[in-house]
Structure 1
Amino acid sequence: MADATSAQESKEQPTLKQPKEALPKNASKKFTWTSPQGETVSYTANAEMVPVRADDGSLMGHMFMFSQVRDDVEDSSDRPVTFLWNGGPGGASYMVNVGGMGARRVKVDTDKHMPNVGVMEDNPYTPLPYSDLVFIDAFGTGFSHVDPNYDGKKVWGVDGDGDAFARGIIAWLALHKRNNSPVYLYGESYGTMRNAVVYRMLGEKGFGVTGVIEQSTILDYEPVMPGNDAYYLGMVPVYAATANYFGKAGVGEDPYAWFNKACEFSNTTLASAIVQGDQISEDDKRSVATEMSELIGLPVDFIMDKGLRIELDTFRKSLLKDEGKTLGRYDTRMVTYAYQDVQGDNEFYAGEDPSYDGINATYLDCYMKMLRDEIGFEGYSNYEPLSLKVNMDWNWTHAAPGTMGPAQVPNVAYDMATALRRNPTSRIMFFGGIHDAATPFWNVKHDMSKLFLPKALKHQIEYHLHSNGHMAYADNEALEAMGPELKAFYEKRHEPVL
């Protein structure tokens, strides 16, 4: 999980310090994973506090890393190791672990609020049969802590965070003697932005990346700025898919065909109209609003009054207003009961999300039970699942390669393109969801299209669209579809490149 609308301005607050408690002792335990078809994999789960150091050897802090490593592999030279994380940027990695990619997961019911007591099972969709897995908590989140003698602000930012993760990965590879194993990066939401930076930085430190997996991607933060045209263009396909799901538009139409139809509308009709602002004629404006209404299920005059620009919170409040319900942001299929007008504060409402509330507590409780009761890792008394402190302190400036200097609003698509040019045998996979309003899939395709990559490099990139919202691991249908796509992606490391 991640919040793609985190505050852009850093606020001066005391630096987070490492707890006074003693450094937790590492713990491990052997397990056997069993697939629904009866396939078994013996593996060791390791919960470790890995020291991360600066160039001069000084301790930056300890990163909590939870790994699942297959036991029956004698030669690891062709055994991939995948490093996984969530976003935030102040989010720990428990969701991508017990949610979707770990060897064990919490059973979910896609668009339903989960009960408070969760059930764990062997995950039929985990990549463990063909890749070892290492889940990393960012500094200041989960159990990862900055050393008291190190300035946390150095790692709470786009570039500092990327550097810290690159160092953490290198430390884990050295500790486990896996320096010659194929390395893959798996990030979700802000974690996809982190992926792009780490992808480049690892190469600059002499460590090649074989594959990068981007789930629910955001590369360019400019569309989250108020009034940005690309924001409105990217949201319309999500609105259309949601209206289709609730029977408010495109009744009987294939949901993916309806989503793609809305993408084409954004690319052509809406793009032409929206850049004109109030210079568009009333007749043309009504024509566009009529077509948009048919796609997203809101009235023509309502869309006209908004200047063809429908904010996400406006859509969330409006589509099911007659039913007294409001939609989720991470997954627009998830609903809750609308707040009364007295609770109409916009900032409060923007942070309310049934698609987060519906899974968070259950995921975290099951994760803590697995770590503490089953593996025996005590950790610290406090696990920080989502640190708003880290979010608020985040330094968003980023020096993209080949640009004139640090930009206040980061665009890491340039990092990704640079890393791919330097490492043309590596591959990139994008996963998106038609009900993800936090990181719309239209914007990913748009950002990558502006790089004008040559055909040979574009051949190394693939895109997959599924039914999910932001957290693909909370959607069984999406996970079932993603499984064989992930496996095929890993196997492509053996294929020749163009």
Structure 2
Amino acid sequence: MRVPCRAILASLWLSVAVASLHAEVPSSPAVAATAEESADPAQVVTQHEGRFGGVDVRYVATAGLTPIFDDDGKPEAKIFSVAYTAKVKDPGRRPVTFLFNGGPGSASFWIQMGALGPRIIALDGPAGRGDLSSPGAALVDNPDALLDISDLVFIDPVGTGYSHAVGAKKNDDFYKISTDGSSVAKFIRTWLTENKRWPSPRFVGGESYGTIRTAMIVDDDAFMTFNGAILISQGLDWGTVMMPPGYDRGYELFLPSYSAAAWFHHRFGGQHAGSVADAVAESEAFASRDYTAALSQGSHLDAAERDRVAARLAKLTGIPEDEWVRSNLRIAPDTFRRLLLRDQGVRIARFDARYTTGSASVFDPQETFDPSLSAAGLPYLNAMRGYLGTELQVKATRPYVGVLPGDWTYDLDNGAFVNPAPKIGAAMTRNPGMHLFVASGYYDFSSPVSSAQYNIGHAGIPTDRVDMKYYPTGHMMYLEPEYRQHLLSDMRSFIVKTMSEKAAK
């Protein structure tokens, strides 16, 4: 199944200037391979120090390409990464965390420059939207980075960053769920071998589509275990976010996100409006009972009950009752985003409903532009390109690819929808010491909070080993310093707790 990225609900796609984010490749495969090899940046090692989690850390940053091979030992790709490793006497006892973004087809610059790297740019969320022209925001030290407790390896999948296919392989061969997941799993095994880190405790995590990649990796090799997996804005079971005709689960699970957006934009009329968490909880209670019961009756629902449910939906979402009746109690997320603030002439963003944008039918007739993406993606990518060439001293003769412009093949499903969540359940069942961390934003219309709850609860995952956290943010909960600190504090606690439980056994 080959689907355009813009049509996929889990996609983390920059909707502006995509063509400028990738390099032109010569048409001849032989010439292309030669050009790629000659443009490869050499591996660079630089020395640094910083204070993280209240601890002074001296660390090494290693930026370079790692070759991976197929089952016959033939080279198939070179994967670019930036590894931050502390200078300690016994690195084998120190955890290492492998991280990546989503897209699919995005380099790791989002979480590296926005959240988890030792050097980041500090944005200020919707309140800080402003001039995004160059030069961008300055790099600052990130005292919340996890280097006090774990080494960090940021991975750019094939086709992104400086990563590329070699030999008989083409970049397109890796633009699918299965080969993308296996290639990153191979990179992790190779990195552990080359750096003599197999004794180290291991964590792996991704954001958005990167959570699908995480599921593929933890189940890629039954004899390679992880201490923990990290899912940021998970997008595992697409059956929870898609609404094909006749299927109502997505409507039920999106309703709490509608209430969150209504609460933020002062349109929520429910009984419990003290916080966005209160609004979501009230909406979840209604969605799980009355709303689900009404939708399950389909056309058999009588008019009086329909009107009663529509009146309650209007209170919970800020969308008028007659609009709910006219829509047969089913308003899709994109429609909701256009309706909520229609009287103000704006629509709310998909990846973070706190952001708004006006209509721009001249250049954006399909309304694909998302202000919450450009507000983060443009400054983060600008910062990453500058940081590589200055502080990390990477020399390259071709551009650093931020986001792929092409299509992706979704070659994994559960017979109906893409859903690799059971792979995490299988990995955690095989390994009783493995734990799971799940972070979700209330204002995320790509990976709604109720979808996360449903996915984790229906995938055979041992819930007693799961930490689920919720933030009053969107898809990228690190866009503001306050919530970035909360996210990293929760991740630090997750790793420390997991390691403590391991030591106690």
Q: Do 1:30 and 1:45's aligned partners in 2 also have CA atoms closer than 8 Å?
A: yes
Question: Of the candidates 56, 61, 68, which is equivalent to residue 45 of structure 1?
Answer: 61
> SS at the partner of 2:229?
strand
- Counterparts in 2 of 1:482 and 1:15: CA distance versus 1, 3 Å: farther
Separation in structure 2 between the aligned mates of residue 277 and residue 372 of structure 1, nearest angstrom: 59
Matched residue, 2:22: none
Aligned equivalent of 1:495: 501
* Displacement of 1:181: 0.5
Q: Structure 2 residue aligned with 1:395, among 390, 409, 412?
A: 409
Letter in 1 for 2:441: G
Q: Quick check: 1:377 aligned with 2:394?
A: yes
* 8 Å contact from structure 2 (residues 201, 226) kept in 1: yes
The equivalent residue for 1:20 is 35
Do structure 1's residue 5 and structure 2's residue 9 form an aligned pair? Answer: yes
Q: Which residue does 1:195 correspond to in 2?
A: 214
Question: Structure 2 matches for 1:415-434, cutoff 5 A?
Answer: 415-434=423-442
- AA paired with 1:277? G
Aligned to 1:10: none
Cross-structure match for 1:464: 469
1:259 partnered with 2:283: no
Report if the CA contact (8 A) 1:113-1:359 is conserved: no
Deviation at 1:24, TM superposition (A): 1.5
Q: Tell me the SS of whatever aligns to 1:388.
A: coil
Between the aligned residues of both structures, percent identity stands at: 28
Identify if the C-alpha distance between structure 1 residues 85 and 344 changes in structure 2 by more than 3 Å, giving closer, same or farther.
Answer: closer
- Offset, 1:154: 3.8
Deviations 1:366-414 (A, max 9, x none): 111110122111234222211121xx1x2212276xxxxxx46321111
Kindly indicate whether the alpha-carbon contact (under 8 Å) linking 2:233 and 2:440 is maintained by their aligned counterparts in 1. yes
Alignment partner of 1:149 is 2:178: no
Quick check: 1:314 aligned with 2:335? yes
Aligned-pair distance for 1:88? 1.0
Deviation at 1:148, TM superposition (A): 4.6
Q: Which runs of 5+ in 2 are unaligned?
A: 12-26
Q: Where does residue 172 of structure 1 map in the other structure?
A: 191
Letter in 2 for 1:465: Y
1:91 is aligned, of 106, 109, 129, to 106
1:139 correspondence with 2:147: no
Backbone CA RMSD of aligned residues: 2.4
Q: What does residue range 318-397 of structure 1 map to in structure 2 within 5 Å?
A: 318-340=339-361, 345=365, 348-349=366-367, 351-389=368-406, 392=407, 394-397=408-411
Which residue of structure 1 lines up, in the alignment, with residue 119 of structure 2?
104
Q: Which amino acid aligns with 2:72?
A: D
Question: Structure 1 residue 293 and structure 2 residue 314: aligned?
Answer: yes
Select 1:279's aligned residue among 281, 292, 300.
Answer: 300
**Cα distance in 2 between the residues matched to 1:114 and 1:136:** 30
Show structure 1 runs of 5+ residues with no match.
Answer: 8-13, 401-406
TM-score by length of 2: 0.88
Which residue of structure 2 lines up, in the alignment, with residue 403 of structure 1? none
Indicate conservation of the 8 Å contact 2:119/2:139, yes or no: yes
**Contact 2:105 2:403 (C-alpha < 8 Å) held by counterparts:** yes
Cα 1:359/1:167, change in 2 over 3 Å: same
**Aligned residue identity for 1:276:** Q
Aligned length: 472
**Residue 19 of structure 2: aligned partner:** none
Q: Secondary structure at 1:62's aligned position in 2?
A: strand
Matches of 2:68 and 2:416, distance apart in 1: 27
Give the counterpart letter for 2:452 in structure 1. Answer: V
Query: What is the TM-score normalised by the length of structure 1?
Result: 0.89
Closer/same/farther in 2, CA of residues 266 and 160 from structure 1, 3 Å limit: same
Q: Distance in 2 between matches of 1:182 and 1:138?
A: 23
Q: Does the CA-based 8 Å contact 2:477-2:487 persist in structure 1?
A: no
Deviations 1:265-295 (A, max 9, x none): 2211211122222221111111111111111
Name the structure 1 match of 2:145: 126
Secondary structure, counterpart of 1:118 in structure 2: coil
CA shift at 1:323, angstroms?
1.7
